[in-house]
Amino acid sequence: MDRTFVMVKPDGVARGLIGEVISRLEGKGLKLVAARFERLTEKKVLEQYREHIEKPFFPSLRHFIESGPCFLMVWEGRDAVRVVRRMVGATNPGDAEPGTIRGDLAMDTGRNVIHASDSPASAEREIAIHFNPGEIVTYKRADESALYE
């Protein structure tokens, strides 16, 4: 099973969308293995978005992510990184397909509700930024034998 890092950004928190996001991922069959509500420090935002530091949108992205609490999660499942990215949809919500989280719930690239790791390597890196190994919980979902062949 793979793990991926998912974060409801401050806009999603402010709009009351934490439950909707969790509900979609749970309903799909992914398993929530860690979660925390946190206002990210500058240090963590720089680590999280390090590949974007030189980009023109970075100052506004950083300011926005630091502006309010985020809901941080680790989700587990078969091919979890790819599956969650497809459920999240395109970065620009105007291009995101209906049925995706951004396609259904957002209007603006700078307010696109959710972050999800884009590769297994990023997932491993991002999970380590936000969670200690001891905060990631293993357990069985009762429906696992019905979810996987």
Catalytic residue IDs = 115
For the bound state, the minimum distance from the C-beta of residue 42 to Mg ion, rounded and expressed in Å, comes to: 19
Q: Which residues contact 6 (CB under 8 A, 6 or more apart)?
A: 21, 25, 72, 73, 74, 75, 84, 114, 115, 116, 117
The only residue of 109, 124, 125, 141 in contact with ligand IDP, by rule CB under 6 A: 109
Binding mask 24-63 for ligand IDP (x = CB under 6 A): ----------------------------x----x---x--
| Binding status of residue 100 toward ligand IDP by CB under 6 A | no
3-state secondary structure of 96: coil
Q: Find all residues with CB under 8 Å of 82, minimum gap 6, and list them.
A: none
> Nearest 10 degrees: CA dihedral of 68, 71, 12, 101?
150
Contact with ligand IDP (CB under 6 A): which of 23, 41, 91, 119? Answer: 91
122 binds ligand IDP, rule: CB under 6 A:
no
- Under the rule (CB under 6 A), what is the footprint of ligand IDP? 52, 57, 61, 91, 109-110, 112, 115, 118
